Amino acid sequence: MSFTPHFIRQCQALVGMDNVIADPARLRVYECDALSAYRQLPELVVLPETTEQVQAILQLCAAQQVPVVARGAGTGLAGGAMPVSGGIVLGLSKMQQILALDPLNRTATLQPGVRNLAISEAARAYGLYYAPDPSSQIACSIGGNIAENAGGVHCLKYGLTVHNVLQIKLVTMDGTLLTLGGSGLDSPGYDLLALAIGSEGLLGVVVEISVRLLPLQPVTQVLLAAFSSIEQAGAAVAAIIADGLLPAGLELMDNAAIRATEAFVNAGYPLEAAAIVLCELDGLAEQVSADMQRLQALLQAHQASEIRIASDASQRQRFWAGRKSAFPAVGRIASDYYCMDGTIPRKHLASVLQQISAMADRFQLQVVNVFHAGDGNLHPLILYDGSQAGDFAKAEALGAEILELCVAVGGTITGEHGVGIEKLGQMCVQFQAAELQQFLRLKRAFDPQGLLNPGKAIPTPHRCAELGRMHVHHGQLPHPQLERF
């Protein structure tokens, strides 16, 4: 549909003329998120600046049956913010105020457009920081982090977004403002806060967030260990956790990632290594020193060919700068890449990495491995050439097999990127029909008209049946009344 001049004027009256975009050239910016292989030009973008404006826009869209896709900084990697036909994009980038920072209670209250890194920058003056640190933290927004339950290199010890958020304010499709969570360790009733975090914009629009801040640790040390095979590195990671060590961060990169990153940022990585493990320990000096000795002994027992400990803060930052720059670094060596996101039990790391390598050979595509090894969150980057007919389809098929392998070994199809439009087929593998139907009932409880981010995250039984993933009883799908969601 094309929006009528009257509808556009109504939006302008609610948020101001400058905050409504209808020009095709300016709309192009919003046609995709970081998963750029999937694109849909939006028909209208609305940029509210206050909670009241969000409420008013949602009420207007609900009254006229207009779908709404909430969008943060556009750094998502699963197509979750891709526009939908006949809908508007509700961009939250102008809601970027830090509303309060309370060093005594170690909390910060923020609008959804605040950048992840900006929280720690503001809190540093008080000796505090915000723990979740996705690789895109310089650009991604806290609202988007809420939508996808973002993690980062330090989520092994300090948790995902869901473990670091105390309270949110959420506007439902009818304009109702809900407060979920609270300032205490627990709150009465169902844990709707946890339900909303990671819900990918299907239940409501987050307009305010209160996060937990942590004190900066007295001592931090980073170790780099090189291995002659990626399987050895995977086995070493599993051994570290099994021994009872809990690093702040534990990351793994294969040789292709090492070489691409070193050429990009000169992090000081050993180019000849088949794989490296980066491990960060933090805490009191005595504990870090003792843990570092245990860690080195473990790595040597698992055939590490080289072990380096960062000599100072500058080298520590270079080690991490390489890991956080891995995705753009790989972008310099390939026409295109397809970034996957699955999670497996750590004990299967070595085996799964071997199987991914065999799959890549079968598809005749290169895979670069960069991932949060400590919690088993894999990020295989599948290299392809988008200008070659059929190359992206091959990359998609390989990615699907990798995700289904994750499920087969007891893992999940996403660790932090969400489902979006990318993994709908694999949701049919991860969950049974009854579970998907329950997800759809939850969606309907918050959004009866199905207008918030439709077609994302939760496949309908009909979609799964089309893919041959769900059993159909006597030619009928169970609960057909849920299909429109």
Instruction: Render pLDDT for 396-431 as a digit per residue (tens, 0 to 9).
Output: 999 999 999 999 999 999 999 999 999 999 999 999
Please report which confidence band the pLDDT of residue 470 belongs to, taking 50, 70 and 90 as the band edges: very low
End-to-end CA distance of the chain: 19
Mean pLDDT in residue range 101-122: 98
What sign results for the dihedral spanned by CA atoms 21, 24, 30, 31? positive
pLDDT of residue 122: 98
Mean pLDDT in residue range 372-390: 93
Class of domain 334-408: alpha beta
350 has a pLDDT exceeding 70? yes
Return the DSSP state at 161.
Answer: G
- Bridge partners (DSSP) of residue 205 are 171
111 has a pLDDT exceeding 50? yes
Instruction: Render pLDDT for 233-278 as a digit per residue (tens, 0 to 9).
Output: 999 999 999 999 999 999 999 999 999 999 999 999 999 999 999 9
Does 111 or 480 have the greater pLDDT score?
A: 111
A 10 A CB-CB count for 28 gives 12
Measured CA to CA in angstroms, residue 150 lies from 280, 376, 415 at distances of 20, 15, 8
For the domain covering 5-91, report its CATH number. 3.30.43.10
Mean pLDDT in residue range 340-368: 94
Instruction: Render pLDDT for 165-217 as a digit per residue (tens, 0 to 9).
Output: 999 999 999 999 999 999 887 788 899 999 999 999 999 999 999 999 999 99
pLDDT of residue 186: 79
Mean pLDDT in residue range 298-302: 97
Is 3.30.70.2190 the CATH number for 219-328?
yes
Mean pLDDT in residue range 27-39: 92
- The region of weakest confidence among 229-233, 343-347, 478-482 is 478-482
Report which of 404, 410, 400, 401 is spatially closest to residue 376, judged by C-alpha positions. Answer: 410
Please report which confidence band the pLDDT of residue 485 belongs to, taking 50, 70 and 90 as the band edges: very low
Residue spans in the chain of domains classed CATH 3.30.465.10: 98-215
pLDDT of residue 482: 36
Mean pLDDT in residue range 282-295: 97
Please report which confidence band the pLDDT of residue 36 belongs to, taking 50, 70 and 90 as the band edges: confident
Residue spans in the chain of domains classed CATH 3.30.70.2740: 334-408
159 has a pLDDT exceeding 70? yes
A 10 A CB-CB count for 462 gives 15
pLDDT of residue 468: 64
Class of domain 98-215: alpha beta
Determine the Cα angle at 75 with ends 234 and 361, to 5°: 40
pLDDT of residue 1: 54
Residue spans in the chain of domains classed CATH 3.30.43.10: 5-91
477 has a pLDDT exceeding 60? no
128 has a pLDDT exceeding 50? yes
Please report which confidence band the pLDDT of residue 476 belongs to, taking 50, 70 and 90 as the band edges: very low
483 has a pLDDT exceeding 80? no
Radius of gyration for the chain, computed over Cα atoms and rounded to the nearest angstrom = 23
